[in-house]
Amino acid sequence: MALHHPTRRGVLKTGLAGAAAATLPAGFATLGPAAALAFEIGDGALMTVSDGNLVLPLDFSYPDAPRDDLVALLADNGLPTDGFEPPLNVPLLRSGERVILFDVGSGPNFMPSAGRLGDNLAAAGIDPAEVTDVVFTHAHPDHLWGLIDDFDELVFANAAYHMGRAEWDYWRDPGTVDAMPEARKSFAVGAQNRLGYLEDMITLFEPGAEVLPGVEAVDTSGHTPGHMSFVLHGGGDPVLIAGDALLHHLISFEHPKWPSGSDQNPEQGIATRLQLLDRLVADKVRVTAYHLPEPGKGRVERDGDAFRYVAST
């Protein structure tokens, strides 16, 4: 177990986290609105912790989807037709002595409705000092900007950090800022700033690698050039942590060929999505994804030429 190195932030929150830890239910069975049990993985448990939600206009999310069909799909399912408020479900895996966090949320400087991960970890009785490993799916703001706190210190000070090599190289390339559209230059500036904190401590890996015991890296590039998903092995059907390879519980499954405005390479995103959905069905893989309805867990079924997301209770 890693030693705790106190930080200014840690001193401020120790009391709150300690009090919450005293009431943490065994096995994460009942965690309240801040966090929820997703799946048991062998002797371990995967939970999701809320970082709040995003607020996105329809034109940003699916600018090239057939508008009438998109609006009809949302309306038929009782969803707003003028935008999206996707939840932010941060996966956390307890396995043996490891506490593994997949992505770190948005932090305080991205969007007012997001950045709740720290408070919700505390409410679930989890001290950031307990986190042994952080594994990144990709470096978009809602997955990376929670790396540092208001004091510019690492929130998870005792963790080892892991990222796919292609993703790291893309965001650390000085030319990425110039290549990004004006509306997203802040994504690149923010990524370069925060990844700089990890320059001497990051462990890079390739697709197919066992990043940590029982954690298989899967190439799901398209959303970003090096986006990774992760299959968790270790008892029963495997579980996929999809990150942003699957973005919406209806659209990504029922209309996987509709291009997503948040994919940096929409055509590659479509190809990746189709391959991933085929694998989830064929291998009976359970799935959790960052923006699926809380707590973001379920299975995938084939539905004619498309697919269906079936949420698990």
pTM beyond 0.85: the answer is: yes
* C-beta of residue 177 within 8 angstroms of C-beta of residue 183: no
* Distance from C-alpha of 58 to C-alpha of 56, rounded to nearest angstrom: 7
**236 pLDDT tier (thresholds 50, 70, 90):** confident
Place of tokens 């697919």: 307
The angle, 0 to 180 degrees and rounded to 10, between the axes of the packed helices 185-195 and 165-172 is 110
Query: Among 26-40, 48-62, 221-235, where is mean pLDDT lowest?
Result: 26-40
pLDDT of residue 292: 94
Mean pLDDT of 3-13: 34
DSSP string, 95-151: ETTEEEEE-----TTS-TTB--HHHHHHHTT--GGG--EEE-S--SHHHHGGGB-TT
pLDDT of residue 43: 85
Place of tokens 């490891």: 98
pLDDT of residue 16: 31
Q: Which of 216, 226, 224 lies closest to 285, judged by CA?
A: 216
pLDDT digits (tens, 9 = 90+) for 182-205: 989 999 999 999 999 999 999 999
* Distance from C-alpha of 20 to C-alpha of 32, rounded to nearest angstrom: 12
* Distance from C-alpha of 106 to C-alpha of 144, rounded to nearest angstrom: 6
Mean pLDDT of 22-28: 36
**33 pLDDT tier (thresholds 50, 70, 90):** low
Q: Which of 133, 94, 131 lies closest to 212, judged by CA?
A: 133
Q: Which residues contact 98 (CB under 8 A, 6 or more apart)?
A: 132, 133, 212, 213
Examine the pLDDT at 166 and tell me if it is beyond 90.
yes
* Check whether domain 8-23+32-311 has CATH 3.60.15.10, yes or no: yes
CA angle 17, 22, 26 (to 5 degrees): 115
Mean pLDDT of 89-108: 96
Q: Which of 261, 186, 188 lies closest to 223, judged by CA?
A: 261
φ, ψ for residue 62 (rounded to 5)? -140, 65
pLDDT of residue 237: 86
Examine the pLDDT at 24 and tell me if it is beyond 60.
no
Burial class (CB in 10 A: 0-12, 13-18, 19+), 160: middle
- Positive/negative CA dihedral, 137, 139, 142, 147: positive
Q: Where are the domains of the chain?
A: 8-23+32-311
* Distance from C-alpha of 106 to C-alpha of 41, rounded to nearest angstrom: 26
pLDDT digits (tens, 9 = 90+) for 149-164: 999 999 999 999 999 9
* C-beta of residue 200 within 8 angstroms of C-beta of residue 182: no
Q: Which residues contact 1 (CB under 8 A, 6 or more apart)?
A: 97, 132
Tokens of 184: 């997203």
Distances in whole angstroms, Cα of residue 181 to Cα of each of 166, 186, 269: 20, 10, 18
* Distance from C-alpha of 196 to C-alpha of 219, rounded to nearest angstrom: 24
